[in-house]
Amino acid sequence: MLFVSNDSPLGSVNNHVDSAMFFMSGKAWANGLVPYVDFSDSKGPLLWLIEMVGYWISPTDYHGVWILSVVMMTFTFYFCWKTAMAVLHRPWLSMCVAVTMALVYFLGFDFLETRAETWCNLPVIYVIYLVVKKIVTDRPLRRLQPLEALMFGVAFMSCLLVKWSIAVMMLSLCGALLFLTWKSGLVSVVKAIGWFVAGCALLAAPFAVYLCCVGAFRPFVEEYFSATSASVGLGEHMDYVGFYLNQARRIYHSPVSVVTVILGLAGGYMLFRKHGWEKWLLPLCYCVFFAIGSYKNWWLYYLQASMSFSVLGIICMAEKLWGGGK
């Protein structure tokens, strides 16, 4: 990231677009302004908090934000490795898969600056890891452990508090996990949902209390949810079929998009093709990411949040070339 991120010490303070707004919002909050009252944008308070911490670390440039993004991407690659290990059971081969994911995450256009979607890479890959882990686990043992379900809730809420549309996409992964844990019994599912809700509350409660104390909770809801959702419609006379065909055309002309779509869709199917109906779970989840990202009318932004699915295709290729097993 020292060489690919524009926020790094080798980068430039210029050529920042969205990230400049994010950083100024974090700076405003650090200097006593109230979010969604004194300043606002279409992003969530967790993003402002991250940017505020980055501002505290380095107030005159983006180096503080870069340090935080390095930490975040380190854990992201760790869960890429964990996902590969769940299938391949070979540490060094799994490490190669994780390293290869750097080509996906950092290719060209998609990492010119640290976007809101970038911060969602970690929670998305964590939940993908949980889904993969449960697919390859014997059905009676698929129940979500309390810590897994708790962190699942934290992951979901972190996306909701950064960019809520990414959390809507993650509902597909939530459904996949519920399907996979259903065979463990209704009691296990109810317990998992309880721990999931607890994880959501654990992260959301401090923000809710703060926003209520400063009288910003209602402006937060109106600006972050209502105003944002009202500004991203397709239009009254939009032809939906033509719209999605146009999105497909745009992806065709973006090499990064073509590669990630193939790795995500084909990899998710081929990797688990011997697992019956379960082979469709992750491809369907990816389709939900694509459909919602296209609906927002700027797929290339949402591409960053869906890149974690590419690990499935890379694992599949590694398994074919070098084999899995312990």
Please state the pTM of the whole predicted model: 0.88
pLDDT value of residue 112: 64
Only one residue has tokens 């469709």, namely 280
Please state the rounded mean pLDDT for residues 212-240.
Answer: 76
pLDDT, the chain, mean: 83
Q: What band does 286 get if pLDDT is binned at 50, 70 and 90?
A: confident
Place of tokens 């975040």: 72
**pLDDT tens readout for residues 151-173:** 999 999 999 999 998 898 899 99
How many angstroms separate the Cα of 60 from the Cα of each of 49, 54, 56, 71, 176? 17, 10, 10, 20, 44
> At residue 59, does pLDDT exceed 50?
yes
- Alpha carbons 44 and 69: distance in angstroms, whole number: 17
Which two structure tokens, joined as six digits, stand for 29? Answer: 């909050």
pLDDT per residue as tens digits for the range 10-57? 777 777 778 888 999 999 999 999 999 998 888 999 999 999 999 999
Angle, alpha carbons 181-119-309 (nearest 5°): 50
Q: How far is CA 248 from the centre of its chain?
A: 21
Average pLDDT value for residue range 286-308: 71
Q: What would the two tokens of residue 325 be? A: 């097993």
Alpha helices in 18-163 (DSSP H): 18-30, 45-57, 63-88, 91-105, 121-135, 146-160
- 245, pLDDT greater than 70: no
pLDDT at position 78 = 97
What percentage of the chain has pLDDT greater than the value 90? 44
The number of residues in the chain equals 326
The DSSP bridge partners found for residue 60 are none
Position 237 scores a pLDDT of 44
pLDDT at 194: 95
Quick one: pLDDT at residue 140?
A: 60
- Mean pLDDT calculated for residue range 268-280: 75
Tens-digit pLDDT profile for residues 101-153: 988 888 754 556 788 888 999 999 999 999 999 888 766 667 888 999 999 99
Per-residue HEC secondary structure of 191-248 comes to: HHHHHHHHHHHHHHHHHHHHHHHCCCHHHHHHHHHHHHHHCCCCCCCCCHHHHHHHHH
Confidence at residue 141, expressed as pLDDT on a 0 to 100 scale = 64
What pLDDT is stored for residue 212 in this prediction?
96
pLDDT at 323 over 80: no
Q: Which residue has the higher pLDDT, 268 or 95?
A: 95
d(CA 307, CA 303): 6
